[in-house]
Amino acid sequence: MVVVIDDDKVQGMVIAETINKAGVEAQHITRWFELTHILQKRAISCLVIDYFLEDGWQGPEVAKLLRSFGCKETPIYFTSSDSSEVVRRQCESAGHPFIPKKWRWLLSNIVVASVLRKHNFQARLSGEV
């Protein structure tokens, strides 16, 4: 499952729904700490995080914290309505790709491809394919 963390309910729901329509389960939450409840019940395939969250957290801080919660191997993609060079560089220097919200179709396609590639790799390892 993909989790979209975005304090903008409409934007987050649109991204999650676009991923769902492509055949990969996605859920939208508005605060990063809601993820702890999901992690207790499910494995996460990928995270899409809004760079600027309402509670004052910024993307790289959230990613670092989530890594400490056990999401060490989970791909993380950042997005924002602010597509400035500064935001992009901060995301990339933290080791995560940045894709502006205005390119949500591209973001959704990359996320879906990442999840499917990971699923196919795991299936090969377990001998399911």
Strands 2-5 and 26-29: parallel
Sequence-separated (6 or more) residues with CB below 8 Å from residue 20: 26
Task: Name the maximum alpha-carbon separation found in the chain.
Answer: 45
- Whether residue 4 is predicted with pLDDT greater than 90 in this model: the reply is yes
Q: Which residues pair with 27 in a beta bridge?
A: 3
- Whether residue 128 is predicted with pLDDT greater than 70 in this model: the reply is no
Per residue in 14-49, pLDDT (tens digit) is 999 999 999 999 999 998 888 888 988 988 899 999
Q: Where are the domains of the chain?
A: 2-126
> Which superfamily is assigned to 2-126 in CATH?
Response regulator (3.40.50.2300)
The pLDDT value recorded for residue 6 is 94
The pLDDT value recorded for residue 47 is 93
- Whether residue 1 is predicted with pLDDT greater than 90 in this model: the reply is yes
Runs of H (alpha helix) within the chain: 9-21, 35-41, 59-68, 85-93, 104-126
C-alpha of 58 from chain center: 14
pTM, two decimals, is 0.85
**Is the Cβ–Cβ distance between 73 and 46 less than 8 Å?**
no
Per residue in 39-81, pLDDT (tens digit) is 889 888 999 999 998 878 888 888 888 888 777 888 999 999 9
